[in-house]
């Protein structure tokens, strides 16, 4: 882990919050933490170069963009783990791919345009990877997503963000798709980052910011924020606690797990004969003992004794899916037109 001073840690907390959709967002962060804009820019660039800052980019609602997404668990022969993981990571729709210590030893997230047959594409990928069994686990309900690491308090309780009900999906305009294609990558770390992206689109900065704010207000763009590499940030252990809960208690237990500040994610997903756990919750700490102690405490709190902790053994891939590229961009213009 790089040697971070208190200002670096305060900056990382601020970047994980939400980068404002204004002309000089880094100046606003500078005012928030009491340093100069130049210092914010230099430190952010250094944190990116050191690998602590994984992404500083938009977080979109996949559903609102017209994509289908799900978590997939696959069981592959342990001696073929590396080969199988490489096949899965090679799919452009796979954003996360982890080895976990379980019979289902590869867990990945895939997103593809809704017009394609999701189950068939997952089955083909699992077969190509040599999986002996796979299960598709879309979110039935999202209770919480709040992946923000408090770099001062050393918990995952920085700026928790609860899930809110989704608005109905609509077709995006060609201009919106063009903006997403350009703005989905890492934000330039310069005083006026949106001006660079506006030039790439052939529009002015104010028009781009107006379009981004409109997408944010509608929930298509959830937020612009930093995502950290948790190992480099010092959170070297994470456990996915999976809970076996009767149907009539899922809502109540899910809400209670989500209310705990130490839980970063909480989802309700389908069950199978060989996977009887409908509730998933993530806990990130500095050691396995800390994770286990928190999960044991949660077990007592929600009165659920039947659970498993799936430990993350290796990260094979973690990156953002790129939307509206390749064939998906065929119906969209190369640049957005001024409004």
Active site residue 134: no
| Among 55, 91, 96, 230, the one annotated catalytic | 96
Residue 75: strand pairing partners: 133
Contact assessment for residue 61 and residue 111, using Cβ atoms and an 8 Å cutoff: no
Which parts of the chain fold into alpha helices (H)? 6-17, 25-33, 37-49, 81-89, 118-128, 174-183, 193-201, 205-218, 250-259, 288-302
CA distance 295 to 153: 19
Contact assessment for residue 103 and residue 75, using Cβ atoms and an 8 Å cutoff: yes
DSSP-based three-state secondary structure for 149:
coil
**Per-residue CA distances from 144 to 27, 39, 279, 281, 304 (Å):** 30, 34, 12, 9, 19
Q: Return the closest-CA partner of residue 179 out of 222, 136, 212.
A: 212
Residues with catalytic function: 96
């Amino acid at each position: 882990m790089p040697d971070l001073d208190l200002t670096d840690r305060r900056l990382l907390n601020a970047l994980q919050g939400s980068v404002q959709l204004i002309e000089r967002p880094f100046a606003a962060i500078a005012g928030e933490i009491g340093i100069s804009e130049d210092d914010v820019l230099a430190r952010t660039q250094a944190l990116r170069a050191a690998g602590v800052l994984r992404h500083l980019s938009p977080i979109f609602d996949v559903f609102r963009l017209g994509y289908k997404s799900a978590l997939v668990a696959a069981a592959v022969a342990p001696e073929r783990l590396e080969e199988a993981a490489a096949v899965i990571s090679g799919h452009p729709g796979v954003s996360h791919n982890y080895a976990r210590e379980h019979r289902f030893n590869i867990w990945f997230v895939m997103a593809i345009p809704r017009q394609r047959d999701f189950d068939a594409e997952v089955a083909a990928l699992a077969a190509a990877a040599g999986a002996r069994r796979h299960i598709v686990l879309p979110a039935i309900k999202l209770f919480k997503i709040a992946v923000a690491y408090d770099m001062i308090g050393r918990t995952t309780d920085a700026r928790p963000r609860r899930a809110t009900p989704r608005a109905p999906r609509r077709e995006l305009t060609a201009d919106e798709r063009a903006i997403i294609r350009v703005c989905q990558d890492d934000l330039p770390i310069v005083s006026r980052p949106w001006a660079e992206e506006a030039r790439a689109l052939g529009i002015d900065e104010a028009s781009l910011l107006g379009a981004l704010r409109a997408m944010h207000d509608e929930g298509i763009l959830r937020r612009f924020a930093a995502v950290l590499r948790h190992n480099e940030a010092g959170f070297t252990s994470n456990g996915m606690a999976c809970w076996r809960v009767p149907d009539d208690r899922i809502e109540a237990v899910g809400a209670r797990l989500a209310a705990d500040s130490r839980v970063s994610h909480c989802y309700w997903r389908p069950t199978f004969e060989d996977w009887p756990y409908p509730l998933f919750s993530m806990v990130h700490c500095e050691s396995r003992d800390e994770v286990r102690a928190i999960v044991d405490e949660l077990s007592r709190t929600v009165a659920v004794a039947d659970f498993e902790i799936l430990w993350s053994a290796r990260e094979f891939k973690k990156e953002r899916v790129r939307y509206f590229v390749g064939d998906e961009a065929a119906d969209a213009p190369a640049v957005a037109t001024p409004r």
